[in-house]
Structure 1
């Protein structure tokens, strides 16, 4: 069992040989690495900086994450690392249909591949190459001992092998129950340990019924509605017409009018025709406490997200307004390849139904984060 009470210590303390016992397992080593700011260029950023364990392993600081250099700002919202290890390896299901992988565009086939990305990203942790990261690992005697014990005495003889070992350890830590406890109110309800309110029960009914909503077309993985262990995503890719986040582009210097191609810019994809704008369906686990929303952080409130989906079904002009701006929801950043069949399934929703769906999604919050619902 992981010593989860010690997690905050890694944010402030250098891992020393005296802590070698905690590094004896792959998960324990991964835990130390996950919180180690020394693996970034200026030693200011770790995995946990953008995947904060106090905020459901998401980044509470804004629409996108600042980089280790203190200047750079990304163009996408950092997705939660909660339940990420359940995503299947990136794969092609059919012509133009893909599933799985990590990042919003699936460019990392596995969780270990994903762990290797941020340290070498110039606008994230900013290390120049794998060799530089491995050199930082070798600065720590406890790491050297742990790596050799777990991967063999010659692990540091090959820098790529050592870097790969690091990513495997981080992925192993992300695969522990700390990231996916399945102890939300909804999980407890399924086990007979909690009761849903009438509003939450209405939301559950709406969510799992294609007669009333389109939610479970993309946010249900298991074959039977309400089955324990549901991750609330089918891990497929869709373009749902998310508008450009102009405010973020003004901040990060990308410039308005630039198009995020999503899945079409994934190097693992051979034929990108018809894939522009498609983004991986995110888990709804902890969704109520991991604002802002959408891959570019364009919406701040969960209710706004439901209202946005509702624009595809409503005929009410008032329902086309974004309550966060008072203006119409923006046009799709990528107007091609919209998943219209999924988006237009079900009738328009009324306020009571919208509120019920939000109430239900709040029940998907892990127990340790339920206090954030009040904040």
Structure 2
């Protein structure tokens, strides 16, 4: 029997029916088929080798293998919060978290707006929640998720980069900010001072940290007090009302055991310890920071991403395309802490006004985030008007409303906003009576310069090609779905 290579090297003499060139072409085709089969086999072997010994693969080869297998060629070791039974204080906090009797209506608890089954966000698609003594008062913003707040720093204003230790003079900051365009997320160079380093100029100072959409609470304890005394939420008129309700709870004896019998005689101390317990519950209970998404397991080399998910991840990180990772950080920290998918900073994005919010029926009402109306300490810092906290994207696919005003209900709508806000604003914003597009219609015009138009995908003009194609958007959404906790292979 002739080997295929023999036919090529020593072709048989032509017969009367087949000319010699035909036989040679057929031999070459057999040789090409044999080589193609060998290449496929080599890629399969290479992929198997990479799965067993990923650390031995060169980066270029690793990228090819990643496309084939969906595995992470460079697994990381993530440092999750330690798992341990809840302390007595945290167990007390859990009871407080679910206690409806602490509200004026008697039917609303912390868990009413922060459902454990919905990543500690609302379990409905209302743009704002109802509360008050009769559960008929509408709020102003959709409650953000309470998940993944365990590493949130207190609110501050400082340089995005750099190592200045100069204190921030808020009055001077307001003066410096007059006429500036917007607070930049990349620090600008500070002018040199003859004697000592000068504080960064106002545009270089970035709001960061804090809780609520406007960062007005610095700790989980302070955050927990807000809804208890908010007239459109749990609606206690005073903190004394909260203390009286605590004295009638079924877990009062636990307060005495943990904090001493005299705690019931001091209303302010009783409230303080109750809020401390709620904070401890959120810190200790792993369900608030589970890190059990498919992406977490992919980072550790324990799961594979599909082609669409991998492509979505690349687009998510691409600073010239979606640029999501510019604010929603996707890489583990240097010491192995899992990514929170937020830089905990503030941005003015210019999302359209939501007419479904009752407060927005007043054309003079504007929710301007950091500079008001629900915090007044930064009212003079007009360079921050329209800025809201960047939320985590963990469990984002499970949310039912998006942005500080709940104007969107689907991830596709969110991505279309980012993609078309500048290139086709008529598809994002309403028109006035004259037919003019009302761009940035949820922020007074004098603050429009604060809105980000420099970073991709907003660095485009009307009529330009959008940063993302329809397929790009589908792939990015596929990736964001890998951020949901509770993944099962």
Same fold (TM over 0.5): yes
Q: Tell me if the contact between 2:371 and 2:379 (Cα under 8 Å) persists in the aligned partners.
A: no
Counterpart CA distance in 2 for 1:105 and 1:59 is: 19
Within the alignment, does 1:112 sit opposite 2:221 as a pair?
yes
> How many Å apart are 1:192 and its aligned residue?
2.0
Q: 1:224 to 1:261 in 2, by over 3 A?
A: same
Query: 88-97 or 172-181: which moved more?
Result: 88-97
The separation in 2 between residues aligned to 1:328 and 1:360, in whole angstroms, is 36
Residue of structure 1 equivalent to 2:139: 74
Alpha carbons 2:352, 2:429 under 8 Å: kept:
no
Aligned to 2:94: 31
For the structure 1 residues 329 and 36, does the alpha-carbon distance in structure 2 shift closer, same or farther, using more than 3 Å as the test? farther
Which of 101, 104, 108 is residue 41 of structure 1 equivalent to?
104
TM-score, structure 2 length as denominator?
0.65
Q: Which moved more, 1:333-342 or 1:149-158?
A: 149-158
Report the RMSD for the aligned CA atoms in angstroms.
Answer: 2.8
Alignment of 1:55-70 (within 5 A): 55-61=118-124, 62-68=126-132, 69-70=134-135
Q: What are the ranges of 5 or more consecutive residues in structure 1 without an aligned counterpart?
A: 4-21, 371-375
Task: Give the TM-score, by structure 1 length.
Answer: 0.83
The equivalent of 2:417 in structure 1 is 308
- Conservation of the 8 A alpha-carbon contact between 2:210 and 2:216: yes
What per-residue deviation string (whole Å, max 9, x for no partner) do you get for residues 101-130 of structure 1?
A: 111001111111101100100000011111
Q: CA deviation at 1:51?
A: 0.5
Q: Greater shift after overlay, 295-304 or 84-93?
A: 84-93
Report the counterpart of residue 272 of structure 1 in structure 2. 381
Given that residues 395 and 485 in structure 2 are in contact (C-alpha distance below 8 angstroms), is that contact kept between their aligned partners in structure 1?
yes
Match 2:482 to one of 352, 363, 367: 363
The alpha-carbon deviation at position 2 of structure 1 amounts to: 7.4
Aligned residues: 342
Q: Structure 1, residues 119-178: CA drift from partner, whole Å, max 9, x if none? A: 1000000111111111111112522x2223333333233322221211111111112211
> Within 5 A, what are the aligned runs for 1:163-174?
163-174=271-282
Residue in structure 2 matched with residue 341 of structure 1 by the alignment: 454
User: Bigger CA drift: 253-262 or 240-249?
Assistant: 253-262
Q: Which residue of 2 aligns with 1:53?
A: 116
Partner Cα distance (1:141, 1:214) in 2? 50
Written as runs of structure 1 = structure 2, the 5 A alignment for 1:147-162 is 147-162=255-270
Query: Structure 2 CA distance, aligned partners of 1:279 and 1:212?
Result: 23
Shift of 1:296: 0.6
- The answer (yes or no) to whether the contact 1:276–1:336 under 8 Å persists in 2 is no
Q: How does 1:63-142 map to 2 (within 5 A)?
A: 63-68=127-132, 69-94=134-159, 95=202, 96-142=205-251
- SS of corresponding position for 2:137: coil
**Bigger Cα Rg:** 2
SS where residue 483 of structure 2 aligns? coil
Q: Distance in 1 between matches of 2:482 and 2:430?
A: 24
Structure 1 contact 27–172 (Cα < 8 Å) conserved: yes
